[in-house]
Amino acid sequence: MELLYKNTKIRGIMKENQTSLTTSPSTDAQSSSLTAEQYRKKMQRRKEVQDQRIADASLEKGLVIVNTGNGKGKTTASLGMVLRSLGHGYKVAIIQFIKGAWEPSEKKAFSAWKENGQLVFHAMGEGFTWETQDRDRDLEKAQAAWEKGLEYIRNPEYKLVLLDEINIAIKLGYLRVDEVLHGLSQKPERNHVILTGRGAPQSLIERADLVTEMNLIKHPFRDQAVKAQPGIEY
């Protein structure tokens, strides 16, 4: 009976605060008009909701993560997860499907982990498709990148595998989405795979556990003709 009461109370609090976990100018204004005691009670209710959510999140599983959309930051966000994984001592594999013709600065930044064998980095593309202008070669390179990525997806030693710009390869028809989905089904239960690139297909989105869409609002290249800059774009 006590447990039923507790769960009912928590559900009531969650309903009451369903919009309180994100802030906006209007909610900030409301909070500033509260007395100290009203504010304390509001934060106490919010804490109860968060504590209950954390308590309920007991499942552990490896994730399929998709970063897509037309906005900037898909690879950048993924590299943040790579850095976290390396910090925990996990082994990580990065496979680049499109940007391989570049010598990205992140490759240099991660060199210490490469040297100790914790990180493998395969830049297997030859640049953007409008640069290569050779569909057959692009197909060959994409297939080779996928086969290499699949090796690491199946390998239980690699906690995280980043397939950078693979969504582009799927969108352009260089890889079949059903082939990729089948490959993802072969990953060890506790391991993670990140797939980046705009235009992620719906079937991949449905399969994923975590999907983030980067929306393009403003971009200096498009809006101001500002050229790509080291430390920002590469």
Q: Where are the domains of the chain?
A: 2-56, 64-224
Closest to 160 measured CA to CA, from 127, 195, 135, 209: 195
Q: Average pLDDT, stretch 159-182?
A: 96
User: Which residues, in sequence order, are bridge partners of residue 162?
Assistant: 94, 194
Q: Average pLDDT, stretch 106-132?
A: 80
Q: What is the value of pTM for the model shown?
A: 0.77
- When the pLDDT of each residue in the chain is averaged and rounded to a whole number, the result is 84
Closest to 19 measured CA to CA, from 39, 56, 49: 49
* Order of strands across the sheet that contains 64-68: 119-123, 91-96, 158-164, 192-196, 64-68, 210-213
Question: What pLDDT digit, counting tens, does each position of 42-57 carry?
Answer: 999 999 898 888 888 7
**pLDDT number for residue 126:** 60
Q: Which of 95-109, 121-135, 181-195, 211-225 has the lowest mean pLDDT?
A: 121-135
**pLDDT number for residue 11:** 44
CA dihedral over 145, 148, 153, 154, signed as positive or negative: positive
**Residue 8 — pLDDT band, cuts 50, 70, 90?**
very low
Closest to 89 measured CA to CA, from 41, 150, 160: 160
**pLDDT number for residue 115:** 92
List residues with catalytic annotation: 70, 72, 74-76, 84, 128, 130, 165
Looking up tokens 């993560």 gives 65
**Residue 31 — pLDDT band, cuts 50, 70, 90?**
low
From residue 123, how far is each of 88, 144, 186 by CA, in Å?
24, 11, 23
Instruction: Classify domain 64-224 by CATH architecture.
Output: 3-Layer(aba) Sandwich (3.40)
| Separation of alpha carbons 234 and 76, rounded Å | 10
| Separation of alpha carbons 227 and 183, rounded Å | 37
